[in-house]
């Protein structure tokens, strides 16, 4: 089971909630592969991919709202992950009959979450944190 260390938290509720949900879904997929129910990959993985796309859209809207200067670059990064998700879906569709594909799927999913999703987001962590604090102060007494 994969866990998220506190250094990977964004200190932004809506993004942390999504990242934890992604982690939960990936752990579920790893569990069905390890528990010899890899047939369920064919359903759980498309659900994960749909959720990841929703997360990217939510995150892009938030970055635009707070005026993050590199929002375009991060949107392009997300679009590059769309292609990676295609290969993840392909692996998931054959994982039931192919233990090697199941094994590869597990490592791809962990890399996808930790490196592509969470590590890349750390680029804007402090910017979003500062903006949250500013808006917290301005709405204060």
Q: Which residues bind Fe ion (CB under 5 A)?
A: 59, 121
SS3 content of the chain, % helix, strand, coil (to 5): 85, 0, 15
Q: How far is the CB of 85 from Fe ion (least distance, A)?
A: 13
**Furthest C-alpha separation in the chain:** 62
Closest contact distance (angstroms) between CB of 25 and Fe ion is 14
The CB-of-130 to Fe ion minimum distance in angstroms stands at 18
Minimal CB distance to Fe ion: which residue? 121
Residue 44 Cα distances to 5, 25, 92, 108, 137, angstroms? 24, 8, 9, 15, 42
Choice between 43 and 79, CB closer to Fe ion:
79
- We find the least distance from the C-beta atom of residue 78 to Fe ion, in angstroms, to be 6
Between 16 and 28, name the residue whose CB sits nearer to Fe ion: 16
Q: How far apart are CA 51 and CA 54, in angstroms?
A: 5
CB-nearer residue toward Fe ion: 76 or 130:
76
- Tokens 């590199």 sit at which residue? 70
Neighbouring residues of 113: CB distance < 8 A, sequence distance ≥ 6: 2, 19, 22, 23, 26
Q: Which is nearer to Fe ion, 103 or 111 (CB)?
A: 111
């Amino acid at each position: 089971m994969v866990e998220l260390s506190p250094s990977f938290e964004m200190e932004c509720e809506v993004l942390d909630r999504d990242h934890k949900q992604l982690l939960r879904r990936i752990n579920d997929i790893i569990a069905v592969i390890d528990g010899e129910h890899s047939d369920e990959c064919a359903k759980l993985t498309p659900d994960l991919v749909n959720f990841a796309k929703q997360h990217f859209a939510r995150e892009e809207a938030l970055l635009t709202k707070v005026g993050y200067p590199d929002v375009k670059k991060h949107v392009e990064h997300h679009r590059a992950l769309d292609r990676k998700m295609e290969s993840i879906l392909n692996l998931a569709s054959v994982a039931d009959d192919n233990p090697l594909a199941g094994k590869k799927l597990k490592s791809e999913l962990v890399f996808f979450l930790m490196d592509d999703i969470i590590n890349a987001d750390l680029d804007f962590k402090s910017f979003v944190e500062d903006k949250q604090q500013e808006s917290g102060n301005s709405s204060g007494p």
